[in-house]
Amino acid sequence: MPKILMSTTPWFSLARSFAQLARNAEKSQSSVSVVKEPLENPPMEIHTLGEKVLRQSARRITKVDETIRDLARDMLRSMYSAKGIGLAAPQVGVHKQLLVIDLDIETPTTPPIVLINPEIIGTSAGLETYEEGCLSIPGVYLNVIRPSGVKVSFRDEMGRPKKMNVDGLLARCIQHEMDHLKGVLFVDRVTDHENLVKELKDHGFNTKDVRSFE
């Protein structure tokens, strides 16, 4: 008769281990994650340059609940459908301080970042020039100068307070999306006006809708 090997680890210790593994797995996934595939009919319309809705300031979110998480999910679905990496609530006509960001839209398991009531509480001394685009100004890509790194405080999709230091593309994306919360678009920050005029004209936009020309 074959021997039956008995574990020397108490069952309750195993249960705790499995429970911890489950908690860790849960933490690795955002509670607002959605399928990263374009939808034929995205849930929200992304407004474009020239629409007044993009020039209004967003209000702070006082309560983070399932309504806010549903909004974040719909924003993500609309963002993925437009093949973007960042979206602010004012871009879909909702004037709340909410951003969704995903720099890895090709990897289904990478969770998005949700920033509620974000505030930049520190910036790097160094500046970088990098080409930016925007789902609200499709087809237009121009260089913008921004701090290369920022420290940002915010609440996540569960309402938990967070702080993080970021640099590179994520820092730029956060700064770009946070501008939307103040009614600012990246074209307002472009210093090469000659190239800006050309790009806007080539893609059917009007310079009168850019603040630097007001």
Q: What is the pLDDT along the chain (214 residues), one digit of tens a residue?
A: 444 333 444 544 444 554 454 444 444 456 899 999 999 999 999 999 999 999 999 999 999 999 999 999 999 999 999 999 999 999 999 999 999 999 999 999 999 999 999 999 999 999 999 999 999 999 999 999 999 999 999 999 999 999 999 999 999 999 999 999 999 999 999 999 999 999 999 999 999 999 988 7
Helices vs strands, H then E, count in the chain: 4, 7
Gap between the Cα atoms of 105 and 169, Å rounded: 14
Cβ(98)–Cβ(154) under 8 Å? no
> Structure pTM?
0.86
Gap between the Cα atoms of 192 and 138, Å rounded: 19
Strand partners, 127: 147
Gap between the Cα atoms of 34 and 3, Å rounded: 48
Phi, psi (degrees; rounded to nearest 5) at 96? -125, 150
Provide the pLDDT for residue 182: 98
- The catalytic residue positions are 177
Phi, psi (degrees; rounded to nearest 5) at 17? -65, -45
Gap between the Cα atoms of 204 and 191, Å rounded: 20
Domains of the chain: 32-213 (3.90.45.10)
Gap between the Cα atoms of 101 and 180, Å rounded: 13
Provide the pLDDT for residue 29: 55
Contacts for 82 with CB less than 8 Å, ≥ 6 apart: 38, 42, 46, 135
Gap between the Cα atoms of 98 and 206, Å rounded: 28
